A and B are shown apart, each in its own frame.
Chain A
Amino acid sequence: MLALRLSLGSHPAVQLRRFLVAAASAGTGFLLLSALGHALAHPDPSVSALRLAWCAAPLAATVYFAVAVARTDPGTRPRPGLSAVGLGPARLMAISAVTTAVSCLLGSALALLVFLGLRGDLAAVPFDGAGTDFLAAGRPLPLPAALTLLALVPLSASAAVATALRPREPVTGAPRVPRVHGRFGAYRRTPVRESFGAYGRFGRQFGPSARGRRTAAAPEQEGAAEGAEGAAESAGVPPAAARTTPSGLPWGITVLAVGLAVEAFASRPGPGAPVDRPAVLLGLALACVGLALAGPGLTHLCGRLLQTIRPGTLRLLAGRVLMTEATRLGRPLGVVCAVMSAAYAMASLHEREDTSSAPLVALGVLLVAGCTVATLLTAAVESRQARAETTAALRRLGAPAVTLRRAAALRAGVLLALFGPLSLVVAELSAWPLTG
């Protein structure tokens, strides 16, 4: 009940995001139902199983989008006031899972209605047109099977949301700088390794760190308590991104290269069209996974390049923010690139078409592309929410809004300039062995 109240009383933009989740869920549910209808109409189970397997891509995209929307939902974020009355992170996790389930269930119900309507179970006249054998119009629909398939999206989305938003205790009291007492400088913390003679080396003790030696040691003790307070204060916004370099870039490039190599190896001239071999699809999938893995690293690299060599305010703000938000923005961006290049590769080699499944393929492609792009936009919203306080502080300093807007535009432009050609190149490379 509280979940419903919280979801009804929220901002129109939030409702729009939830509505989009419901729409994606409806599309996926319709695809699943049409796989069922195909299985009813055709005796051969292998083709229907293949169709059902292809539904995994829209399902994954829908779940991914639902998780991104649940992350940005301001209604289910930990709030100090609610936490004080006992509605802590655990209950809020349950609430966001329920909210996600409700919107996905709405979508599933819509899908069922549309499917039944097209079959002619609700209206007297079934939808009549080319390629409607997936509706299995003449046969009775097994209701348990349909409901099981329709429950797939809400259940998996809720489970994914609950896993993604499970309450995690912030590690308080852990020292931020590893405390290592060197062997020589007994009163100074030296996180770097001290080798023999390192202390007495000439010039070592003249630097600024040596000068601040006496003052730096005292106020460190309160750090943990202040950090805990800060965490409690900023509970209303998404957690700030950790300032670490994402490590996926080498792996991403490796997997991408392996995928392209597998594809090229599998599409040697031989019997049968190269498109039908599973190894080719495996290669394409590996290339996509590699692109998605490399996304955060590439975003971080963009930010790093943007802020090198004497940056002014604009480049500094744009680049550093990109470096910090690399994981949050880079992963959906990599996924979008992967989907785009896969769609490009698939489109360039699909001349052979059975017209019966063309609308369903179009619906699936639209779903996957729409969900990934919407996830990317939602991630941008989340990053903006996380940085709202900093932006307010900058505005209080008198930073002109034009500068902040220009920094955001610069970020978007740089990302587009890197990822657009990159996904085109990958798409061309993955389509090349198939068409040649």
Chain B
Amino acid sequence: MVAPPDNDVLWARALHFRHDDGSPGLSGVSLGVREGEILAVGGPRGSGKTTLLRCLSGLLPAKSGEVWFNSVPVHTMTPVARERLRRERFGWIDPAPLLVAELNVWENAALPLMLRGTGRRRAKTAALEWLERLDIGDTARRHPEELTHAERQRVCIARALAPAPSVLFADEPTAPLHRIDRAHVLRTLTTAARSHGITVVLATHDAQTAALADRTVSLLDGRRVHTLHLPPLPGTAETEGLAACSLSV
């Protein structure tokens, strides 16, 4: 067992993961996340970004390998301890805004704080502050279904940021959005993280999104790679590919 470097808030070594149905997830991914940095995890769809984020945040137990958070081993924790770690230290943003439909916007944003045991008044104040910062303060009393997709996604970001987590995991937070909304959501996310010193692990398949991060780690087929340039197809004409795929050949 190698002791992790001191300046890494999150550190993973040789993570292996295999899904329940036997399909390979991760095969030997190692990475370190420094404190306060925004790390983009790049790669095409199916390259294991979401699985990596889930393993890092303790949602999925890795089959083998180590995950350390602030010199605490996550891979040996019990499920209850991991749940508590997620609640107290981590934030999570889904690709789709999954809000609790019964609660209104500020209650949704204050929910993680209240789950931690913060009083209602303080949780409300913090949630309203974050909603104001993310430009959706005027929707605080409305219900999630009255908002647009981009607004709901911003509510999710406020919900993840309000408890001031140590590490924020964002799994393709802008995938279903148009480019204008995408830029807005990303800008608010990165600005908030930088100004509050929150470490962000951002999974994205978009090179423009990855450009906003400090550092990019690329995955391909569950492995960490240094370049993502796949070899170009031989020949440039489309007709060749067409002929190769044609059944009549």
Which residues of A approach B to under 8 Å, CB–CB? Answer: 176-177, 208-209, 211-212, 215-216, 219-220, 222-223, 226, 229-230, 233, 240, 243, 310-313, 316-317, 320-321, 323-324, 389-390, 392-401, 403
Contacts and interface: CB of A to CB of B under 8 A. Distances in A.
17 contacts: A212-B135, A215-B135, A219-B148, A222-B149, A229-B176, A310-B120, A312-B114, A316-B107, A316-B114, A317-B102, A390-B98, A390-B101, A396-B59, A397-B86, A397-B92, A397-B115, A400-B83
B102 A211 contact: no
Given A177-B146, A209-B138, A313-B114, A390 B100 contact: yes
Interface in B118-161: 120, 135-140, 143, 145-146, 148-151, 159
Interface residues of B, number: 41
B137 A212 contact: yes
Query: In this complex, which of B102, B139, B159 has the most chain A Cβ atoms within 10 angstroms of its Cβ?
Result: B102
Contacts of A176: 145-146
Given A243-B143, A324-B102, A396-B92, 10 more contacts: A208-B138, A211-B137, A212-B136, A212-B139, A216-B139, A223-B148, A243-B101, A393-B100, A396-B94, A398-B112
A222 B176 CA distance: 12
Interface of B: 59, 80, 83-88, 90, 92, 94, 96, 98-103, 107, 111-112, 114-115, 120, 135-140, 143, 145-146, 148-151, 159, 176, 178, 181
B145 A243 contact: yes
Contacts of B140: 208
Q: Is the interface of B mostly helix, strand, loop or mixed?
A: helix
A303 to B, nearest CB: 9
A321 to B, nearest CB: 5
Contact of A398 (B83, B96, B100, B149): B83
A281 to B, nearest CB: 41
Nearest to A211: B138
B70 to A, nearest CB: 17
A312 B102 CA distance: 15
A320 B90 contact: no
A392 B100 CA distance: 10
A209 B136 CA distance: 10
Nearest to A219: B148
B57 to A, nearest CB: 9
Contact of B90 (A311, A316, A395, A398): A398
A313 B114 CA distance: 6
In the A-B complex, the 10 residue pairs with the smallest Cβ-Cβ separation, listed nearest first, are A398-B87, A212-B138, A398-B86, A320-B102, A393-B98, A226-B149, A313-B114, A208-B138, A324-B102, A219-B148
A316 B124 CA distance: 13
B111 A397 contact: yes
A312 B120 contact: yes
A222 B148 contact: yes
Given A233-B96, A243-B101, A397-B87, A226 B148 contact: yes
A1 B136 CA distance: 52
Contacts of A321: 102
A33 to B, nearest CB: 47
A316 B115 contact: no
Query: In this complex, which of A397, A398, A399 has the most chain B Cβ atoms within 10 angstroms of its Cβ?
Result: A398
Contacts of A401: 83
A311 to B, nearest CB: 7
A311 B100 contact: no
Nearest to B59: A396
A399 B98 contact: no
Nearest to A397: B112
A11 B235 CA distance: 52
A330 to B, nearest CB: 15
B183 to A, nearest CB: 13
Contact of A400 (B59, B87, B90, B135): B87
A222 B149 CA distance: 8
Given A216-B138, A312-B120, A240 B101 contact: yes
Nearest to A396: B92
Contacts of A316: 103, 107, 114
Contacts of B107: 316
A132 to B, nearest CB: 55
Contacts of B103: 316, 320
